[in-house]
Amino acid sequence: MKKESGKVLKEVSKLCQDERELDAEVLVKKQIAVDPDNLELMTKLGEIQARLCNDHEAEFTFRAVLVRDPNHEDAVCGLGRLLDQALRTEEAEQIYRIFLQNNPISHCALEDLCRILLAEEQADEAFEIARNHVEQYGNNANAFDALRYLLHVDEDRLEAELNDDRENKTLYTQLMNNLLEQIELVTKMERIDELPDDLFRELDDDKTRLSGEIKHLLKSAPTRQISVPPELQNRISHYKLYDGSPV
């Protein structure tokens, strides 16, 4: 039975990739009828229902899974995202916080919580949580997802603000610190054993981009009437940018 349900889950995932959610829903319900205790099938049903915008049904399904297994990560993340999208953000945040108390290694739940906190203008807490997660579980590439997301969003904000206020030394320093932290994260991730090829290529591209951004920001300092702070110069001097040349 478990083997057959595994085949169904693969087929259902393929149907969803082809945007055939209605067919996927029929198939997964049929398999649940013969394998009613399979929580992976039920969670997949909830995900399909959410994709079909059947929010009430999806919420019922996710909660049914969590009654049986409160530590089911995919069901927690599915329910949390559903509630957040329905603007029931406080409920979603509470679900993630409770889940993470018992499952602190959950990269999915932690990233979702950090996204919520950032949207709720609680960036300091989001960054603290994400950085601690990298410190504790940095041997897993997924542990970096939350912090990388936060840094990318903050990079965009800082760039926009600096474009409007070119000679603002505080914004300049914050943006340089952001870019350096990102390239440091990429370097740490590259040391993780057995990285998937697609992720390694993504990191390679990101390192190239970040190197270029740092160089551009350094070259623009004189035109901004900004002297790069010594602490930043010292930090940058420990790096060789991606083309192999020192900063």
Tell whether 218 is covered by a domain.
yes
| Amino acid of residue 167 | E
Q: Is residue 139 a part of any domain in this protein?
A: no
Q: Does residue 240 belong to any structural domain of this protein?
A: yes
In a domain, residue 156? The reply is: no
- Residue 1: predicted pLDDT: 58
Contact present, 88 and 123 (Cβ < 8 Å)? no
**Domain-located, residue 239:** yes
Q: From the CB of residue 37, how many other CB atoms can be counted at a distance below 10 Å? A: 10
pLDDT digits (tens), the chain, 247 positions: 578 999 999 999 999 999 999 999 999 999 999 999 999 999 999 999 999 999 999 999 999 999 999 999 999 999 999 999 999 999 999 999 999 999 999 999 999 999 999 999 999 999 999 999 999 999 999 999 999 999 999 999 999 999 999 999 999 999 999 999 999 999 999 999 889 999 999 999 999 999 999 999 999 999 999 998 888 888 887 766 544 444 4
C-alpha to C-alpha distance for 22 and 61, rounded to whole angstroms: 16
Give the domain extent around 183.
Answer: 165-247
pLDDT recorded at residue 230: 87
* Structural domain total, the chain: 1
Distance CA 114, CA 123 (A): 8
- Rounded CA separation 200/211 (Å): 16
Residue 219 inside a domain? The answer is yes
pTM of the model: 0.90
CA distance 30 to 8: 10
- Going from the C-alpha of 93 to that of each of 1, 9, 75, the distances in angstroms are 36, 29, 14
Helix (H) or strand (E) run with residue 105 in it: none
Q: What pLDDT does residue 243 have? A: 42
Residue 200: inside a domain, yes or no?
yes
In angstroms, the CA 156 to CA 146 distance is 16
Q: Which conformational region is residue 194 in: left (phi greater than 0), alpha (psi within -120 to 50 degrees), or beta?
A: left
Structural domain includes residue 203: yes
